Structure 1
Amino acid sequence: MSLPVLQADCAHCFALCCVALPFAKSSDFAVNKPAGTPCANLREDFRCGIHTRLRDKGFQGCTVFDCFGAGQQVSQVTFGGRDWRTHTGTARQMFEVFPVMRQLHELLFYTAEALTLRDAAPVHAELRRVLAETEEWTRADAEALADLDVGALRLRINTLLLKTSELVRAKVPGRKKNHRGADLMGARLTGANLRGANLRGAYLIAADLSRADLRTADLIGADLRDADLRGADLRDAVFLTQAQLNAAQGDPTTQLPSALTHPSHWT
């Protein structure tokens, strides 16, 4: 297998996230924009005109979005470098395929991480099989991708990711908290022991997690927008992404997995 790059490379993408996806006026976006319509800040060279001032201009949502490398895959592989402005006939199909590819790349990202976890060895063989299948789909043509039942594939892989989480967290001693899908918006969890906790899909918007112990916690899909992670310990957190950190607040004392970095806006 030769996995596609699972990190966004905007220089080789035709600004698909700025065109294909809709956004609604909110604390994350300053204006409304329908799907398939270029953002008003998009330049002719497919670059953002306010890239260095996105937060100041009310486009915080752009700073936390992650396509997991799907943008350049669609632009350079699926459509062979043909952009939607020059080749207008490709626009509709390109915008339709981008969200599908984004899901495939996200699944590759989580599956690849699961294969690095030694405690998940009992499911590694199955993970390798679905990784190969998903990787093959990323090289499919636009017509095949448009017809793909990506929801069914996601369900199969998520079952394996859940088993991975259970195997890894089982190694943490003591009783682990289960907050899967819980509404913890604004919750006061300062210094909380959440080691090995199940926080899959939890709403942690603006939660105070300062100095909390989140080692080996499963954070897949957790909403960390404006969560306070100052002094928190997230070493070995499972399925944590850079985009989740970019949406949160932290400082130099926040401890992270080695593959992730402190966002530039953390002070």
Structure 2
Amino acid sequence: MSENHTNRGQSPDRSRSSLQGDCENCFGLCCVALPFAKSADFAFDKNGGQPCHHLRADSRCSIHDSLRQQNFRGCTVYDCFGAGQKVSQVTFSGKDWRQDKQSAKQMFDVFPIMWHLHELLWYVSEALALPASRPIHYELRKALDETERLTFLSAGSLSKVDVASHRAEVNTLLLRTSELVRGEALRQQKNSPKSQKTFGRGADLIGAKLKGTDLRGVNLRGAYLIAADLRGADLRMADLIGADLRDTNISGADLSESLFLTQAQINAAKGDRHTKLPAALTRPAHWSKA
């Protein structure tokens, strides 16, 4: 875990500890169920439902320690939010897709659905831990309960869940949470001459030069920050949900209180030992030690 800590409030969060991938209790579902195309992130094409060439019989990756060196960077930035072990051990009661061919396709079909639900659990759990979200805690808890209920449905029922509709409902609450948190941040920023508040959802900031910029409380939801220079930038209380941080340089940046940041986003970025992360996230091993 990161050594960085925030001053966020504590929540009786009962689910976030299970929202981390546990490959020991998964049947390599991400290596089978998901498709990928030959690119800078993957060395070859693979169809959904087709096991990766490197997946061993024990559900382990044969090149796990050298994925980046063998052109499988895409695998190193993936995070299932614990959906893999949930489908493997709960939805299918520990039945390996190799041993139960009849249920294999259904297992592969429900895995992405579970992934979306677990991602929402991650976001809602974070929202509940934020003091500024107290005015909507009741609604957030209802959303957490309902999302968690869906994750325990049978495979057949799970496959019929309208994830897009449920996600839209939850996102309304996440947006409200963002507004509450960022509103406070922006009030604190009124007299900051370096503050940048003009960015919005889906902003095109590919390759942007934002070194040292004060971005506290900025809305960067879904922003394209690919290869942007955010070295030393202050991103506390900035909303980064869905932001594309591939090759974004966040060396020395402060993301300790950034909103809705995930491990996958951090894994895709470039940082160093001076980068400040939320306590729930881990500093990637491939980051610079300088």
TM, length-normalised to structure 1: 0.97
1:99-114 counterparts in 2 under 5 A?
99-114=112-127
Q: What is the aligned partner in structure 2 of residue 122 from structure 1? A: 135
Using the alignment, how far apart are the partners of 1:168 and 1:236 within structure 2? 10
Q: Which has the higher contact order (CA 8 A, sep 6+)?
A: 2
Using the alignment, how far apart are the partners of 1:179 and 1:255 within structure 2? 23
Using the alignment, how far apart are the partners of 1:86 and 1:258 within structure 2? 39
Q: Deviation per CA, 1:30-61: give whole Å up to 9, x if none.
A: 11101110001101111100000000000000
Which residue identity is paired with 1:174?
Q
Q: What is the aligned partner in structure 2 of residue 258 from structure 1? A: 279
- Alignment partner for residue 65 of structure 1, among 66, 69, 78? 78
- Report how far residue 258 of structure 1 moved: 2.0
- Report how far residue 177 of structure 1 moved: 3.5
Gaps of 5+ in 1: none
Using the alignment, how far apart are the partners of 2:234 and 2:209 within structure 1? 14
- Alignment partner for residue 93 of structure 2, among 80, 83, 92? 80
Q: Which runs of 4+ in 1 moved over 6 A?
A: none
- Alignment partner for residue 22 of structure 1, among 8, 31, 35? 35
Q: What is the aligned partner in structure 1 of residue 6 from structure 2? A: none
- Alignment partner for residue 232 of structure 1, among 246, 253, 257? 253
Q: Is the 8 A contact 1:207 1:226 kept in 2?
A: yes
Q: What is the aligned partner in structure 1 of residue 15 from structure 2? A: 3
Q: What is the aligned partner in structure 2 of residue 178 from structure 1? A: 199
- Alignment partner for residue 174 of structure 2, among 161, 175, 189? 161
Which residue identity is paired with 2:270?
Q
Cα RMSD, aligned residues only: 1.2
Mean alpha-carbon deviation: is it higher for 177-186 or for 122-131? 177-186
Using the alignment, how far apart are the partners of 2:67 and 2:259 within structure 1? 29
Identity %: 61
Using the alignment, how far apart are the partners of 2:39 and 2:213 within structure 1? 31
Using the alignment, how far apart are the partners of 2:79 and 2:245 within structure 1? 14
Q: Deviation per CA, 1:220-249: give whole Å up to 9, x if none.
A: 000101100111111210111111111100
Gaps of 5+ in 2: 1-12, 191-196
Q: Is the 8 A contact 1:177 1:196 kept in 2?
A: no
Q: Is the 8 A contact 2:15 2:125 kept in 1?
A: no
Q: How many residues align?
A: 267
Which residue identity is paired with 2:138?
A
Which residue identity is paired with 1:28?
D
Mean alpha-carbon deviation: is it higher for 248-257 or for 148-157? 248-257
Using the alignment, how far apart are the partners of 2:69 and 2:226 within structure 1? 20
TM, length-normalised to structure 2: 0.90
Which residue identity is paired with 1:263?
P
Q: Is the 8 A contact 1:194 1:217 kept in 2?
A: yes
